[in-house]
Protein backbone atom coordinates (compact mmCIF):
# COMPACT_ATOMS: atom_id res chain seq x y z
CA UNK A 1 0.00 0.00 0.00
CA UNK A 2 2.91 2.27 0.79
CA UNK A 3 3.84 1.95 -2.88
CA UNK A 4 0.60 3.49 -4.14
CA UNK A 5 0.61 6.57 -1.91
CA UNK A 6 2.40 9.52 -3.49
CA UNK A 7 4.59 11.40 -1.05
CA UNK A 8 4.41 15.15 -0.83
CA UNK A 9 8.18 15.68 -0.92
CA UNK A 10 8.75 13.91 -4.20
CA UNK A 11 5.71 15.60 -5.76
CA UNK A 12 7.02 19.03 -4.86
CA UNK A 13 10.57 18.29 -5.99
CA UNK A 14 9.41 16.71 -9.25
CA UNK A 15 7.18 19.70 -9.96
CA UNK A 16 10.00 22.17 -9.30
CA UNK A 17 12.50 20.09 -11.29
CA UNK A 18 10.10 19.72 -14.20
CA UNK A 19 9.34 23.43 -14.29
CA UNK A 20 13.02 24.40 -14.22
CA UNK A 21 14.06 21.75 -16.75
CA UNK A 22 11.15 22.67 -19.02
CA UNK A 23 12.03 26.36 -19.10
CA UNK A 24 15.78 25.79 -19.47
CA UNK A 25 15.35 23.24 -22.23
CA UNK A 26 12.66 25.25 -23.98
CA UNK A 27 14.84 28.33 -24.13
CA UNK A 28 18.32 26.88 -24.55
CA UNK A 29 17.77 23.51 -26.22
CA UNK A 30 14.51 22.90 -28.05
CA UNK A 31 14.25 26.29 -29.68
CA UNK A 32 17.73 26.31 -31.27
CA UNK A 33 17.60 22.60 -32.11
CA UNK A 34 14.18 22.76 -33.77
CA UNK A 35 15.13 25.97 -35.54
CA UNK A 36 18.32 24.39 -36.82
CA UNK A 37 16.49 21.28 -38.00
CA UNK A 38 13.97 23.42 -39.88
CA UNK A 39 16.77 25.49 -41.31
CA UNK A 40 18.58 22.39 -42.48
CA UNK A 41 15.42 20.97 -44.01
CA UNK A 42 14.97 24.26 -45.82
CA UNK A 43 18.61 24.24 -46.91
CA UNK A 44 18.27 20.76 -48.32
CA UNK A 45 15.02 21.46 -50.13
CA UNK A 46 16.49 24.69 -51.49
CA UNK A 47 19.57 22.85 -52.69
CA UNK A 48 17.44 20.24 -54.40
CA UNK A 49 15.38 22.95 -56.04
CA UNK A 50 18.50 24.75 -57.21
CA UNK A 51 19.90 21.52 -58.59
CA UNK A 52 16.64 20.90 -60.45
CA UNK A 53 16.74 24.39 -61.86
CA UNK A 54 20.33 24.03 -62.95
CA UNK A 55 19.51 20.72 -64.57
CA UNK A 56 16.58 22.26 -66.43
CA UNK A 57 18.81 25.10 -67.53
CA UNK A 58 21.44 22.67 -68.68
CA UNK A 59 18.86 20.77 -70.67
CA UNK A 60 17.65 24.01 -72.21
CA UNK A 61 21.21 24.99 -73.05
CA UNK A 62 21.83 21.62 -74.59
CA UNK A 63 18.75 21.83 -76.76
CA UNK A 64 19.73 25.34 -77.72
CA UNK A 65 23.17 24.14 -78.64
CA UNK A 66 21.70 21.38 -80.70
CA UNK A 67 19.44 23.83 -82.48
CA UNK A 68 22.42 26.05 -83.16
CA UNK A 69 24.38 23.12 -84.47
CA UNK A 70 21.52 22.11 -86.71
CA UNK A 71 21.27 25.62 -88.02
CA UNK A 72 25.00 25.76 -88.61
CA UNK A 73 24.84 22.51 -90.48
CA UNK A 74 22.00 23.74 -92.62
CA UNK A 75 23.88 26.93 -93.31
CA UNK A 76 26.94 24.99 -94.27
CA UNK A 77 24.91 22.87 -96.68
CA UNK A 78 23.37 25.97 -98.20
CA UNK A 79 26.76 27.60 -98.53
CA UNK A 80 28.23 24.52 -100.14
CA UNK A 81 25.37 24.41 -102.57
CA UNK A 82 25.78 28.07 -103.36
CA UNK A 83 29.49 27.64 -103.86
CA UNK A 84 28.86 24.78 -106.21
CA UNK A 85 26.35 26.80 -108.13
CA UNK A 86 28.75 29.68 -108.37
CA UNK A 87 31.48 27.39 -109.56
CA UNK A 88 29.24 25.89 -112.20
CA UNK A 89 28.14 29.31 -113.28
CA UNK A 90 31.69 30.57 -113.51
CA UNK A 91 32.76 27.52 -115.51
CA UNK A 92 29.82 27.91 -117.85
CA UNK A 93 30.48 31.58 -118.23
CA UNK A 94 34.12 30.86 -118.93
CA UNK A 95 33.11 28.27 -121.48
CA UNK A 96 30.73 30.66 -123.16
CA UNK A 97 33.33 33.37 -123.15
CA UNK A 98 35.88 31.01 -124.62
CA UNK A 99 33.44 29.99 -127.31
CA UNK A 100 32.73 33.58 -128.12
CA UNK A 101 36.42 34.41 -128.27
CA UNK A 102 37.11 31.43 -130.48
CA UNK A 103 34.31 32.37 -132.78
CA UNK A 104 35.58 35.88 -132.91
CA UNK A 105 39.12 34.72 -133.65
CA UNK A 106 37.81 32.37 -136.34
CA UNK A 107 35.73 35.14 -137.81
CA UNK A 108 38.71 37.49 -137.75
CA UNK A 109 40.87 34.83 -139.38
CA UNK A 110 38.27 34.31 -142.06
CA UNK A 111 38.11 38.01 -142.67
CA UNK A 112 41.89 38.15 -142.90
CA UNK A 113 41.94 35.15 -145.19
CA UNK A 114 39.32 36.73 -147.41
CA UNK A 115 41.22 39.97 -147.49
CA UNK A 116 44.42 38.23 -148.46
CA UNK A 117 42.57 36.11 -150.98
CA UNK A 118 41.10 39.30 -152.45
CA UNK A 119 44.53 40.88 -152.48
CA UNK A 120 45.95 37.81 -154.20
CA UNK A 121 43.15 37.81 -156.73
CA UNK A 122 43.66 41.50 -157.41
CA UNK A 123 47.35 40.87 -157.76
CA UNK A 124 46.67 38.02 -160.09
CA UNK A 125 44.28 40.12 -162.08
CA UNK A 126 46.91 42.83 -162.39
CA UNK A 127 49.53 40.34 -163.48
CA UNK A 128 47.11 38.77 -165.97
CA UNK A 129 46.40 42.23 -167.29
CA UNK A 130 50.11 42.94 -167.61
CA UNK A 131 50.64 39.62 -169.29
CA UNK A 132 47.81 40.29 -171.68
CA UNK A 133 49.27 43.66 -172.44
CA UNK A 134 52.75 42.19 -172.90
CA UNK A 135 51.45 39.39 -175.06
CA UNK A 136 49.30 41.75 -177.00
CA UNK A 137 52.28 43.99 -177.52
CA UNK A 138 54.38 41.08 -178.74
CA UNK A 139 51.56 39.78 -180.88
CA UNK A 140 51.03 43.10 -182.37
CA UNK A 141 54.69 43.37 -183.19
CA UNK A 142 54.72 39.91 -184.81
CA UNK A 143 51.57 40.44 -186.83
CA UNK A 144 53.35 42.96 -188.82
CA UNK A 145 55.98 40.50 -190.05
CA UNK A 146 54.28 37.14 -190.59
CA UNK A 147 50.78 36.01 -190.73
CA UNK A 148 51.51 32.36 -190.23
CA UNK A 149 53.88 32.91 -187.43
CA UNK A 150 51.42 35.29 -185.90
CA UNK A 151 48.80 32.66 -185.71
CA UNK A 152 51.20 30.10 -184.32
CA UNK A 153 52.35 32.49 -181.82
CA UNK A 154 48.87 33.36 -180.70
CA UNK A 155 48.18 29.70 -180.46
CA UNK A 156 51.31 29.23 -178.44
CA UNK A 157 50.42 32.12 -176.16
CA UNK A 158 47.01 30.74 -175.74
CA UNK A 159 48.42 27.40 -174.72
CA UNK A 160 50.71 29.15 -172.29
CA UNK A 161 47.82 31.08 -170.89
CA UNK A 162 45.82 27.92 -170.37
CA UNK A 163 48.69 26.41 -168.48
CA UNK A 164 48.66 29.33 -166.27
Partner 1 sequence: MGSKSIKSLLVAVFSLIIIFFSYVSYAQDKGAEVTPPQEKFDPGKEIMTHIQDAYQFHFFTLGNFHASIHLPVILYSPQKGFSVFSSSRFGEEGEEAYNGYKLENGSIVSVEPGVDVYDFSLTKNVVQMLIALTILVFLMVGIAKKYKKGQGITTAPTGWQNAIEPIITFVRDDVAKANLGKRYKKYMPYLLTIFFFILINSIFGLLPGSANVTGNIAFTAVMGVISFFVILFSSNKHYWGHIVNPPVPWGIKPILIPVEILGVFTKPFALIVRLFANMVAGHIIILSFISLIFIFGGMNKIAGWSFSPISILFTVFIYLIEILISFIQAFIFTNLTAIFIGQAFEGSDHDVDHHADPVIV
* Residue ranges binding partner 1 (CB under 8 A): 2-15, 17-18, 21-22, 24-26, 28-37, 39-40, 43
Nearest to partner 1 of 28, 97 (CB atom): 28
Q: How far is the CB of 55 from partner 1 (least distance, A)?
A: 22
Phi, psi of 7 (to 5 degrees): -95, 145
Question: Minimum CB separation from partner 1 for residue 22, in Å?
Answer: 5
Angle at 83 between CA 80 and CA 88, to 5 degrees: 125
Cβ proximity to partner 1, 4 vs 163, nearer residue: 4
As measured in angstroms, the least distance from the Cβ of 53 to partner 1 is 20
- The closest of 136, 130, 128, 131 to 153, measured between CA atoms, is 136
Q: Alpha-carbon dihedral of residues 16, 21, 27, 33, nearest 10 degrees?
A: -160
With respect to partner 1, which residue has the nearer C-beta, 13 or 90? 13
Are 152 and 138 in contact, with CB atoms under 8 Å apart?
no
Amino acid sequence: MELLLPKLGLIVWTLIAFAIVFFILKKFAWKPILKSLDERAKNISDSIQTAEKVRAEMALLKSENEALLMKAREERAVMLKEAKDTKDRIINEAKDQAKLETNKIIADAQVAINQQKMAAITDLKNQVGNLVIEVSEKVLRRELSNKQDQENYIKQLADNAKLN
